[in-house]
Amino acid sequence: MDIIESIKSVLAPPHKASYPFILGGIAGAVLGLLLWHPLTWVGLLFTVFCLYFFRDPERVLPPRANAFVAPADGLVVSIERAAPPAELGLSHEPRTRVAIFLSVLDVHVNRAPIGGVVRKIAYHPGKFFGAADEKASDENERNSLILDLPGGQEVVVVQIAGLIARRILCDVREGQSLGAGERFGIIRFGSRTDLYLPEGCEPRVAVGQRMVGGETVIAELTGA
């Protein structure tokens, strides 16, 4: 069963953000048949890579209503206290931040860590340090969301561009309700996703642990 599920995740349908790239690869392959045969192989290889990179598998939420699930696949590179992005206009008081690094081999779809309403979305242009670099959270291009939870708490999720990621896509709007694990965007070609937990929520993951977006429990909501 594990092998079958692994195959399904690799062969999952691609995210809609992949369509221009896949069509470009197919066009290059067809053009190669007409003009220069090696271009055909380049186009085909690029198409296959895009199908793999933009894969968008279904995920199964854990049966725990108050759980924060990972907002992205990838590796936890840091767990520390930090202030949320300034452009959100929140207090500068540090919160627990769990930073997840996504390599080009990871699924790059971002998911809501818990059910809530999008109060604010703020985009911040910036640099393109390697996403695993500690400076990435503060200096890289990013897109930040505040989710208001039913109990009055708030959680912040930040999409961060990496060294070769140059396009952050966010498919939701302010005022929109999101369910836990629901897709809200994607980052193209290597990136990072930061999750700022509400006060009192202790992470149940460790640095170096691999996350499965929409499935791995990062923490549980207290006082709910």
Token output for 145: 């969301």
Catalytic residue chosen out of the listed positions 18, 137, 144, 191: 191
CB 64 within 8 A of CB 220: yes
Contacts 24+ apart (CB under 8 A), 78-84: 78/134, 78/207, 79/203, 79/205, 79/206, 79/207, 82/137, 82/196, 84/144, 84/156, 84/158, 84/196
Measured between alpha carbons, how far is 144 from 85 in angstroms, rounded to an integer?
7
Q: How many CB atoms lie within 10 A of CB 60?
A: 9
| Whether residue 191 lies in the annotated active site | yes
Q: Which of 31, 32, 27, 140 is nearest to 85 (CA)?
A: 140
CB 129 within 8 A of CB 158: no
Name every residue whose Cβ is closer than 8 Å to that of residue 75 and which is 6 or more positions away in sequence: 100, 101, 103, 208, 209, 210, 211
Active-site annotation, residues: 191
